Amino acid sequence: MTAALTVPTADNLALPAARAVFDAINTKDLARIPELVTDDFVDHGSPFPLPPGPDGYTQILTFVTRVLDFGGLSVGDPTVDLVVAWEVLDPPARELFRRQIGVDEASWLRGRAWALSITLMIWYYWTTMPKRRARCMAVGRNVLADAGYSV
């Protein structure tokens, strides 16, 4: 199951709220997160289970930006960041996302390959985490469908 992308519109209050939060993260101005994580930001339709309300998002964002150093933990390929396209977006939203970020064909294919490789970890969660297993299977179906395979 995938979530549809919230299309930016003039009345979409989540878009400026999300931009403000991510600007604070990118500029390492983490002290601003509690004031920026408003109901508008929280209400953007995230498919991931998080604690309710702005406080839950503040906890998650603070943890992610202060504790995890993705530069040190990642594989060093920026196309890993494209995996989200197959994790949470349906095909039309994926295409919109791709156009909006202006990714070239080779990078898009590498991102899709990363999504498939992450999906292959499904065996680890098969019996212990059925919800994660279901998410991995959904990502795999999305990747295979985008590659032209019927699933």
Domain, as residue range, for 139 = 75-146
Q: In the chain, how many domains are there? A: 2
Pair 39, 79 in one domain:
no
Question: Please, which residues bridge with residue 54 across strands?
Answer: none
Q: Name the residue among 29, 28, 15, 17 with its Cα closest to residue 54.
A: 17
Q: What is the pLDDT of residue 41?
A: 63
Indicate the pTM of the whole model.
0.51
Q: For residue 129, what are the CA distances in angstroms to 87, 88, 102, 125, 134? A: 17, 19, 35, 5, 9
Q: What per-residue confidence (pLDDT) applies to 106?
A: 93
Shared domain check, 85 and 58: no
Residues 141, 79 share a domain: yes
95 and 127 together in one domain: yes
Domain membership of residue 2 (yes or no) is: no
State pLDDT tens for residues 62-95: 655 554 444 444 456 778 889 889 988 889 999 9
Q: Could you give the CA distance from residue 134 to residue 126 in angstroms, rounded to a whole number?
A: 9
Predicted local distance difference test score (pLDDT) of residue 78: 78
- The per-residue pLDDT for 57 is 60
| Kind and range of the H or E run holding 84 | helix 84-88
